[in-house]
Structure 1
Amino acid sequence: MNRMVSRRALLGGMALGGAAAFLPGAAFAFRADGAALFPATNAFITGFVDRGELASTLACIGKGQEAPLYFGAGTQAMDSTRPVGPDTLWRLYSMTKPVTAMAAMLLIEDGKMGLDQPIADFLPAFRNMKVQDTPDGSITAVHPAKTPITVRQLLTHTAGLGYGIIQKGPIRDAYNKAGILGGQVSRLPIPGFADATPAPSLAAFADRLAELPLVYEPGTRWSYSVGLDLMGRVIELVSGQPFEAFLKARLFDPLGMTSTWFQVPASEVGRLTTNYAPVAGALIPIDPATSSIYLDKPPVPYGGGGLVSSARDYDRFLAMLLGEGATGGVRIMKPETARLAMSNLIDDSIDRKGTFIDGEGFGAGGRVSLPTSPTGEGLYGWAGAAGTVGFVDRRRGYRVGGYTQYMPSNALPFQADFGKNFYLDVMS
């Protein structure tokens, strides 16, 4: 059974305990030069394992198009002796969003859809959407949307759609009842996690979503949402291919991303990490590798949070972005398409106060830094619900990935402070 993490659990409802004694404590540096070149980053990530707070951590950092450096600590699970490395498999969750967004940008580049084209051209059920009179209030007190949802808005979380991990009240309950979920967590019954049956297909996901009201007027507020999951359905309608097949043909195969899937093959389970939840003083395995829900074919290929990948594979994706559409002699998209995708695609009028991007911009599926940002312009990337983070710094020429597995991601400061420590190394 799919178990979806609740808003409370994902956004910090679980208490972090101190079951340190059960975790492997010895740090393992994959590349001594990586640890030496990025001492603050190395000390930060290995500290979690040395203190017994996480089973493992890994950094993957590349400069320009040079080979990346991998360094980290720990093993694939608390009860494993296999150290993590470049080919270890991690649940990416929302780090899937930039991948889906770049797939959409390829179709825009192909001329098969427009950035500001209404999605109702492909999904007629979204032609006459209703909007809640009060966000997160009644789902029957609604009014007609003033403007149509566009492709740009799906890519940038400005379509007015909701998210079960964000919304409250009747609209959240309606999402769960309809199986409008953003991913999967475990086969196990976990206290604090919403028990919901997912929509049986991506087509059903889209059809059911169209029947529910929007939370906000399209184009007015940045609202973290299932927009990139819905984009998966748009991609398959526009391309004429199943969403997974399009990703494989246009991104994964050309980039040599041979370890990126919505379903982990049984033959590769030996590389999969275990995912944990810090609960009342213990680290609980909520998705053990050997019985992981990711070994099953998901009913929906979640474009917003469904991929499992390795640090090596995701670095190839980031290298393509840093290379403005090309890496390793292979061009995936035109430079102008890549630059557009990683630029700020939302207008200043979009309300983002109190959101994950307060004071920042947003591109196709990822946060974009602005001139007023602490690091200045040039950053593009996003993070995942199980602690992972990935981004490119186009100004300084870096591609950066941080990997571990625990939920909720704010139970420990790994995700929140990973980038800060990286910039202690490169900006000092």
Structure 2
Amino acid sequence: MADFGVDAEAGELGFAPDRLARIDRYFRPYVDDGRLPGWLITVSRAGHVVHLSTYGLRDLTSGRPVEVDTLWRWYSMTKPVTSVAAMMLYEEGALQLTDPVERFIPSFADLRVFTGGSDLRPVTEPAARPMTVWNLLTHTSGLTYGFMRAHPVDAMLRARGFEWGQPSGYTLADSCDAWAEIPLLFQPGAEWNYSLSTDVLGRVVEVASGQSLDAFFRTRIFEPLGMTETGFHVSEEGADRLASLYTPAARGGLAPSGSMGQALTARPSYLSGGGGLMGPAADYHRLMEMLRGRGAAGGVRLLGSRTVDHMTRNQLPGGADLESFGRRLFSETPFDGTGFGLGFSVVTDPVALRGLASKGEYGWGGAASTAFWVDPAEDITVSFFTQLLPSSTYPIRPYLRGLVRQALVD
């Protein structure tokens, strides 16, 4: 990790150094007053890191500080990795975006859709069309999350043991078969809803490739890009570098998150393509650089340039944004002026977004308040790492976006 740091003068790449310094000045009080344990921020342009800062602690009990090599739970920032994997297989002809999911997961052949009733007495109808790989990539599958707590189907998931995790001992294949027995929120393709779609996509990757998800990630993505410390668990020797996970305490400050914060030092039975990875900021930077490079970084190409261009276009019907096509529940992005591509949110209208942004900027966030984005128009990548559940606790992301943008002066 010694090679990861600022490697260019900010002024030479269009940033005012004094304005970049505002980022740290703004976020330090989040730690000082107990809202966050600590954080790490990166800002890069044209492939060069112009700002990398850390502040606070990765563990409040021991007093260990956030360092450049701190390991973070990525949660839903895992989703772009799974989406990249699926599109690599698409490029190789192993799958088509129009393929029914049942081609890879037979239990998805006879899906039903919730039309009324309750979680205990649901009224359903058959799915009018198959769920496709494209539906999984765009979160238009009709699936949901148990933690949403907004619909009877969410309650049905929780009753089966699927809220923030899965029943003990379940594999990804087991989980997919269980989800197929639960009705969908809506007909596939009819709406957008943040969901377990990318976890199901991870199973599609396994079946289409003939490899376990961790093996595919390691051999096809992580090793080629040099993401040497990313995985579904950490090593015994790396466990003390993993930042502790916190939630807001009832009377202010922070409380340990409990079982979700335990350091996984052995391969889990369930490999979550929707939220299971952990690793250092340097590794995620390499992933962002591959995306910024339209599929290539460091002399390694994972995807064709046109594939990345397609993934990062708004795919919602008629160019709709999430406000008009999505269920306004939980998401890792604003709904106004934001569409969705194949694994990423995509800014469609910066004015409607009500914030400084570029049309075509894409990215995502994670449940522990992490975030990243890539801006092709400005040739910028940005990442923010901390460990606070849930990500909706504080509006970190819009402030970060504005603070990075105001520092551009070229």
> How many angstroms apart in 1 are the aligned matches of 2:131 and 2:244?
38
- Residue 70 of structure 1: CA displacement? 1.2
> How many angstroms apart in 2 are the aligned matches of 1:136 and 1:297?
37
Change (3 A) 1:54 1:214: same
User: Residue in 1 aligned with 2:400?
Assistant: 418
- Residue 163 of structure 1: CA displacement? 0.8
Give the root-mean-square deviation of aligned CA atoms.
Answer: 2.5
User: Residue in 1 aligned with 2:128?
Assistant: 146
2:255 pairs with one of 284, 299, 313: 284
- Residue 397 of structure 1: CA displacement? 0.5
SS at match of 1:399: strand
Change (3 A) 1:151 1:68: farther
2:317 pairs with one of 324, 347, 372: 347
* Superposed counterparts of 1:25-36, under 5 Å: 36=18
SS at match of 1:266: coil
> How many angstroms apart in 1 are the aligned matches of 2:243 and 2:108?
39
User: Residue in 1 aligned with 2:139?
Assistant: 157
1:248 pairs with one of 196, 215, 218: 218
2:377 pairs with one of 395, 404, 410: 395
User: Residue in 2 aligned with 1:96?
Assistant: 78
User: Residue in 1 aligned with 2:305?
Assistant: 335
Q: Contact (CA 8 Å) 1:199, 1:300: kept in 2 or not?
A: yes
User: Residue in 2 aligned with 1:323?
Assistant: 293
SS at match of 1:127: helix
- Which whole-Å deviations, capped at 9, do the CAs of 1:258-317 have from their partners, x for residues lacking one? 11111111110121111111122231122599x824334322111111111111000000
Uncovered stretches (5+) of structure 2, i.e. residues with no partner: 11-16
- Residue 181 of structure 1: CA displacement? 4.7
Letter in 1 for 2:302: I
* Superposed counterparts of 1:255-274, under 5 Å: 255-274=225-244
User: Residue in 1 aligned with 2:269?
Assistant: 299
* Superposed counterparts of 1:15-414, under 5 Å: 36=18, 38-67=20-49, 69-134=51-116, 140-168=122-150, 170-181=152-163, 183=165, 197-198=167-168, 200-281=170-251, 282-287=253-258, 292-348=262-318, 351-352=325-326, 354=328, 356=331, 357-372=335-350, 373=353, 374=355, 375-414=357-396
> How many angstroms apart in 2 are the aligned matches of 1:139 and 1:298?
34
User: Could you tell me the percent identity over the aligned residues?
Assistant: 35
User: Residue in 2 aligned with 1:188?
Assistant: none
Letter in 2 for 1:85: E
- Which whole-Å deviations, capped at 9, do the CAs of 1:32-79 have from their partners, x for residues lacking one? 977746123222222212334322111011112224631121121123
> How many angstroms apart in 1 are the aligned matches of 2:187 and 2:229?
39
User: Residue in 2 aligned with 1:10?
Assistant: none
- Residue 142 of structure 1: CA displacement? 0.2
> How many angstroms apart in 2 are the aligned matches of 1:206 and 1:410?
27
49-58 or 310-319, which deviates more:
49-58
> How many angstroms apart in 1 are the aligned matches of 2:235 and 2:118?
39
> How many angstroms apart in 2 are the aligned matches of 1:256 and 1:135?
51
Uncovered stretches (5+) of structure 1, i.e. residues with no partner: 1-29, 184-195
SS at match of 1:409: coil
277-286 or 366-375, which deviates more:
366-375
206-215 or 50-59, which deviates more:
50-59
SS at match of 1:316: helix
> How many angstroms apart in 2 are the aligned matches of 1:103 and 1:311?
20
138-147 or 320-329, which deviates more:
138-147
> How many angstroms apart in 2 are the aligned matches of 1:103 and 1:392?
18
SS at match of 1:228: helix
> How many angstroms apart in 1 are the aligned matches of 2:129 and 2:168?
29
Q: Contact (CA 8 Å) 2:338, 2:347: kept in 1 or not?
A: yes
Change (3 A) 1:236 1:182: farther
> How many angstroms apart in 2 are the aligned matches of 1:139 and 1:103?
38
Letter in 2 for 1:351: F
Letter in 2 for 1:173: A
Letter in 1 for 2:255: I
Letter in 2 for 1:284: A
Larger RCO (alpha carbons 8 Å, 6+ apart): 1
> How many angstroms apart in 1 are the aligned matches of 2:124 and 2:259?
43
SS at match of 2:55: strand
> How many angstroms apart in 2 are the aligned matches of 1:231 and 1:182?
18
> How many angstroms apart in 2 are the aligned matches of 1:227 and 1:330?
28
- Residue 124 of structure 1: CA displacement? 2.0
> How many angstroms apart in 1 are the aligned matches of 2:262 and 2:71?
12
277-286 or 415-424, which deviates more:
415-424
SS at match of 2:407: helix
Change (3 A) 1:167 1:280: closer
Q: Contact (CA 8 Å) 2:242, 2:263: kept in 1 or not?
A: no
